[in-house]
Amino acid sequence: MPELNQTPVIRVRGLISRFGAQVVHDGLDMEVQSNEIFGVVGGSGTGKTVLLRTILGLRAPDAGTVEMHGRDVRQLAVADRSSLVRSYGVTFQSGALISSLTVAQNIQLPLREYYPVSEKTLDELAELNLALVGLAPDAGTKYPSQLSGGMVKRAALARALSLEPKLLFLDEPTAGLDPISAAAFDGLLLYLHSQLRLTVVMITHDLDTLFRTCSRVGVIVDGRMISDTLDGLLQNQNPWIHDYFHGPRARAAEKDTHG
């Protein structure tokens, strides 16, 4: 459960994101508390990935503020910004592994950038991170093209965890996976969340993943965010939220999760 009465790990206030005449976010607010798994959902074009990129500092907001650990991410000095980047891990929808590098070399990239350690130590750390996400040591010698979709997702997660972050951002982590592989990834996420005391922000369309893993969910509707527990969202009468959480797939996901 999230640790209440503390500064939110992430606080977004009054976010406005524009692309020309199109306003994607129109005063969006969002808070993520320590040690929760926070899901972000919304229809196509609602700006879920734009929100993620803005939180990560990859896109400047047109208005509003983004704070991480109580500090405005746009006001940080260079050294503080570097420290902040090391404090979180990110996986992207496609995995975003570098195809010309082995899996172990991909995992070692953040370590090489921030820590001057020996090749032997790098190899040992890569092997530890592979084990952490349930991959065999020999997966490290393979190239991304030699892995299954589920293994690519796990390898990307191993890279995201290589600097031992306490905050993890996941962009559609189960997209493209079959139901068994997706359920296995959800189980891994819950295990890592429990063991490493991670705070997780996850963009997903996967209703099964939402019902299995999320403490709370933020729904982007009409340029703003409505955040609640799943039980609360199931009672929400907003038309889009109602349709999303009461369609046949949602009912099946809820039934599978709660029995």
Last residue of one domain, picked from the residues 164, 192, 221: 164
| 63 and 46 within one domain | yes
Q: How far is CA 46 from CA 42, 89, 126, 200, in A?
A: 6, 24, 37, 20
| 156 and 218 within one domain | no
| 179 and 103 within one domain | no
Q: How far apart are CA 220 and CA 225, in angstroms?
A: 4
33 falls within a domain:
yes
Q: How far apart are CA 168 and CA 142, in angstroms?
A: 25
Q: Quote the strand ranges of 87-131, DSSP E.
A: 88-91
Last residue of one domain, picked from the residues 164, 195, 210: 164
Number of structural domains in the chain? 2
| 123 and 46 within one domain | no
Is there a contact between 155 and 180 (Cβ–Cβ < 8 Å)?
no
DSSP 74: G
pLDDT (tens digit, 9 = 90+) per residue, 169-214?
A: 999 999 888 999 999 999 999 999 999 999 999 999 889 999 999 9
- For residue 15, the domain's CATH number is 3.40.50.300
Q: Which helix (H) or strand (E) holds 251?
A: helix 248-258
Residue pLDDT tens, the chain, 259 long: 444 457 899 999 999 999 999 999 999 999 999 999 999 999 988 999 999 999 998 899 999 999 999 888 888 888 788 888 888 999 987 668 899 999 999 999 988 888 888 899 999 999 999 999 999 989 999 999 999 888 999 999 999 999 999 999 999 999 888 999 999 999 999 999 999 999 999 999 889 999 999 999 999 999 999 999 999 999 999 999 999 998 765 555 555 555 5
Q: How many residues does the chain have?
A: 259
Quote the domain boundaries for residue 71: 10-87+165-258
| 251 and 205 within one domain | yes
| 176 and 78 within one domain | yes
* Nearest partner of 139 among 103, 87, 91, judged by Cα: 103
Angle at 207 between CA 162 and CA 107, to 5 degrees: 15
Residue 209 CB neighbour total at 10 angstroms: 26
| 231 and 200 within one domain | yes
